[in-house]
Amino acid sequence: AQSVSQHNHHVILSEAASLELGCNYSYGGTVNLFWYVQYPGQHLQLLLKYFSGDPLVKGIKGFEAEFIKSKFSFNLRKPSVQWSDTAEYFCAVIGYGTASKLTFGTGTRLQVTL
Amino acid sequence: DAGVIQSPRHEVTEMGQEVTLRCKPISGHNSLFWYRQTMMRGLELLIYFNNNVPIDDSGMPEDRFSAKMPNASFSTLKIQPSEPRDSAVYFCASGRGQGDTQYFGPGTRLTVL
């Protein structure tokens, strides 16, 4: 069975600080990877995804993530956060296989202060 | 495209009542997912449909929960009878396949008193 770990549960940053949120997964085969964002009171929105190709993926709003297969990681980064990035961030993974389903991490709550 | 549409957006009901949540997926998507989100348990997949057929309902908590997808543009999640522990935000999502991107609806916030 696949699983996803997000080690940072709550991160507080000042505006303009750099962000890195960790995401590790466990699955022995090929995976598709996603980062979703949930702004307060809203639904989940896709930030970026990795299916194949360049392991450095660029998403919306200046976010990027790097897939490191040897480390089973897909960390999310942003060089300079804004107050409007305050939200909860979810990493998700799905392995290739008939029994696979999208598995979400527990989420990281990011609070950006002015 | 209007995106995934869910109704109602908020539902307050009393314990024992039947609750029906509705979802209209994005046109052209053949996969539909129902999730439940709570503070304690996070985001849980309840059931997944592909081409209107339930593929995996292992996440449905118990027999009080049932889901249907009578056609490609409509799905319901029913709870009967409802209990206070069912209080949560229920999201519907759709996509072009199990491994593809899922697009989430705005959710239904259910409160069972």
**pLDDT, tens digit (0-9, with 9 covering 90-100), for A31-53:** 999 999 999 988 899 999 999 99
pLDDT top residue among A42 and A81: A81
Mean pLDDT of B83-111: 93
Beta-carbon separation of B45 and A101 below 8 A: yes
Q: Which two tokens stand for residue B43?
A: 């985001």
Please give the pLDDT value at position A97. Answer: 67
Distance from CA of A18 to the nearest CA of B (A): 26
Q: Is the pLDDT of residue A98 over 80?
A: no
Mean pLDDT of B42-71: 92
Taking alpha carbons only, the member of B90, B106, B103 closest to residue B29 is B103
Please state, in angstroms and rounded to a whole number, the distance separating the CA atoms of residues B6 and B26: 11
Beta-carbon separation of B42 and A94 below 8 A: no
Beta-carbon separation of A102 and B45 below 8 A: yes
Model confidence band, residue A29 (pLDDT cutoffs 50, 70, 90): confident
Share of chain A above pLDDT 70, in %: 97
B56 contact A CB<8A: yes
Please give the pLDDT value at position A22. Answer: 96
Collect all residues with Cβ–Cβ distance below 8 Å to B64 and sequence separation of at least 6.
B79, B80, B81, B82, B83, B86
Residue A112 main-chain phi, psi, to 5 deg: -110, 125
Taking alpha carbons only, the member of A66, A84, A85, A68 closest to residue A76 is A66
Cβ contacts from A onto B, under 8 A: 37
**A-contacting residues of B 82-101, CB under 8 Å?**
91, 93, 98-101
- Find the length of chain A: 114
Specify the DSSP class assigned to residue A86. -
Contacts of B3 in chain A (CB under 8 A): none
pLDDT digits (tens, 9 = 90+) for B23-46: 999 999 999 999 999 988 889 999
The separation between CA B108 and the C-alpha centre of its own chain, rounded to angstroms, equals: 9
Please give the pLDDT value at position A99. Answer: 62
Query: Which residues are registered as beta bridge partners of A44?
Result: A38
Q: Is the pLDDT of residue B1 over 80?
A: no
Please give the pLDDT value at position B2. Answer: 80
Q: Which two tokens stand for residue A111?
A: 């609070």
